[in-house]
Amino acid sequence: MRKYYKKMLKLIKKFRTHDNKDKQIESDTTCYPTDFFDGILYFVLAQTNDPLKIVQVGANDGKSNDPLFDFLCDIKNVRVLMVEPHPFAFEKLKQLYSEDSRIKLINKAVGEKPGTLELYCLNERYGKLANASKEKMTRLTTTRKDIQVKRINRKLKLPVDEAESLIDCFEIECEPLSNILKVNGFCDPDVILVDAEGYDDIIVRQLDLNYNKPMVINYEVWHLDSYAYTSLGYKLDDAGYMRIKHGKRGKDECAIRKL
């Protein structure tokens, strides 16, 4: 098993810079997938004969720009817990996976305590002004209103008060991540993916890495300020992970557990 880790770490060192979609890396026995995160998934899969346990927080519709879609089409030996708070995206997710026995779907948000969480989404007026589809706007839902205001300003160059009129707010039931994992039988996942539009650090910091250490934790860093990013980095470094940015403009980071 150690040799697979060594191969995985050797592979990811070649992906330290930005977008590597055009790169293909070969070893003496294997042609690795060209996408960075696909490569990580296949290597982690090689560690176990048991079904690979994956938790995805912010699953959206399960297909649009989804890092798991192609992998799940190819690999059957997996169990997946997908958590998606937005009702519209969750309906799309159900249409895609409701008959798939490998996958469990949860329509909740991850919060710091049980209750409700406010989410901010772009409304139909924004869609008309920006020529954006409902699917795309749903994908950009966030817990942070300031992110939406900045996004609108970047796209439409509107002042704050006008930008805020293009944002809707709704509440969704939420639970701490530990509760969701325990209730659904995923207390010891191998891989955790988080895409929460600026809420990623809050979710990842809920993990008790003294109790259980997933092999891989992947999260978006695009919207994190320097304090949030640094604090999260300290937690993962102290727990024995190596961290590598990847994806377009380094907007994602993958934390991989060292032996």
User: Rounded CA gap, 180 and 174, in Å?
Assistant: 9
In degrees and rounded to multiples of 5, residue 67 shows phi and psi of -75, -10
Largest CA distance in the chain: 59
- Residue 97 half-sphere exposure toward CB, CA atoms < 13 A: 26
Domains of the chain, CATH where assigned: 2-112+187-257 (3.40.50.150), 115-172 (no CATH)
pLDDT in tens, 36-90: 788 888 888 888 889 999 999 999 999 998 999 999 998 999 999 999 999 999 9
Instruction: Report residue 13's pLDDT band, with 50, 70 and 90 as the boundaries.
Output: low
pLDDT tens-place string over residues 113-125: 999 999 999 999 9
pLDDT at position 9, please?
A: 58
- Measured distance CA(125)–CA(161) in Å, rounded: 14
Give this prediction's pTM.
0.86
Confidence of residue 259 (pLDDT cuts 50, 70, 90): confident
Cβ-proximal residues to 18 (8 Å cutoff; 6+ apart), any chain: 245, 246, 247, 248, 249, 250
Strand partners, 86: none
pLDDT in tens, 240-257: 999 988 877 778 999 999
* Burial (CB count <10 Å: 0-12, 13-18, 19+), residue 88: middle
Please give the residue that has the higher pLDDT: either 230 or 17: 230
Q: 30 CB contacts (<8 Å, ≥6 apart)?
A: none
What number is the average pLDDT over the span 101-123?
A: 97
Q: What is the DSSP string of the chain?
A: -HHHHHHHHHHHHTT-SS--TT---B-SS-B--SSHHHHHHHHHHTT-SSPEEEEEES-TTSSTT-SSHHHHHH--SEEEEEE---HHHHHHHHHHHTT-TTEEEE--EE-SSSEEEEEEEE-HHHHHHHT--HHHHHHT-BS-HHHHHHHHHHHH---HHHHHTTEEEEEEEEE-HHHHHHHTT-SS-SEEEE--TT-HHHHHTTS-TTT---SEEEEE-TT--HHHHHHHHHHHHHTTEEEEEESGGG-EEEEEE--
Do the beta carbons of residue 56 and residue 203 sit within 8 Å? no
Query: What is the band of 188 on the pLDDT scale with cuts at 50, 70, 90?
Result: very high
Q: How far apart are CA 81 and CA 191, in angstroms?
A: 11
Q: Flag whether pLDDT at 26 surpasses 60.
A: no
